[in-house]
Copies of this chain bind each other. A is one copy, B any other.
Amino acid sequence: MRIGELSRRTGVPVPTIKYYVREGLLPPGELSSPNQASYDDGHERRLRLIRALLEVGGLSVAAIGDVLASIDDKEQPVHKLLGTAAQRLVPEYGDAGCQEDAEAVLARERVARLIEARGWRLHPGNKAAGALAAALASLGRVGYGSFAELLDEYAEAAERVARADLGYAARRTDREDLVEAVVVGTVVGDAMFAALRRMAQVDVSSRLFAQGGQE
């Protein structure tokens, strides 16, 4: 199909499609004449994936480029690749993560104990574990260190969700399909869980504080 048709099918404006091609997110169309390129279903699918990561996942164009490169790298075994994708999908924190104080040390110890207690098999440099420690340290600095009491309950819920995620992904037999499912699920799953948590909070809060009223 021509670029105009690709734009109609996906709802992505033509200049935006051209921008994604220039940034290397979308492979160029096949030249059918010197100034006309032809696009196929693969382009359409990739374009929808880019939009999902951008609009629902809130990833930057650069981060999406990294994630797509890891999907397209056929050399890596599936598990390594999932690890790489998960590492790249960890949100980056600003200065909070770098501050080296007593709270940072305490938070890292706390995370190490949690990993040990749950028997999670993680590489020592796991980026998500670093992000968790940074979040806990930041809580400590703001005077809400006791929020870390909820860590076990959160970890139990996270394990439950992760098992569902991987179970969903494992039903896909095609390699690219599997990795794409994990990437989409990881990014969109964050948004889904955050929304559900707020909905459940409103319900629980109305039962606790509003004596039978509705929000």
Given A79-B213, A197-B161, A48–B143 Cβ distance below 8 Å? Answer: yes
In the assembled complex, how far is the CB of residue A118 from the closest CB belonging to chain B, in whole angstroms?
Answer: 8
Tell whether A185 is near chain B: CB-to-CB under 8 Å.
Answer: yes
Q: Is A83 an interface residue (CB 8 A)?
A: yes
Is the interface on chain A under 10, 10 to 19, 20 to 34, or 35 or more residues?
A: 35 or more
Taking a contact as CB atoms under 8 Å apart, the answer to whether A135 and B56 are in contact is: yes
Chain A 115-148 near chain B by CB (<8 Å), digits 1 or 0: 1001111110010110110111011011110110
Interface contact B52-A215, CB-CB below 8 Å: no
Residues on B with C-beta less than 8 A from A86 are 198, 201-202, 205
Contacts of A37 in B (CB 8 A): none
Chain B residues near A158 (CB-CB < 8 A): 157, 193, 196-197, 199-200
The minimal Cβ–Cβ distance linking A3 to chain B, given in whole angstroms, is: 19
Q: A94 contacts the other chain (Cβ, under 8 Å)?
A: yes
Number of copies: 2
- The residues of B that contact A205 with a CB separation of less than 8 Å are 79, 82-83, 86, 166
Task: Say whether B79 contacts A215, CB under 8 Å.
Answer: yes
Q: Which residues of A contact B (CB under 8 A)?
A: 11, 45, 48-49, 51-52, 54-56, 58, 77-79, 82-83, 86, 89-91, 93-96, 99, 115, 118-123, 126, 128-129, 131-132, 134-136, 138-139, 141-144, 146-147, 149-151, 153-166, 168, 170, 180-182, 184-186, 188-210, 213-215
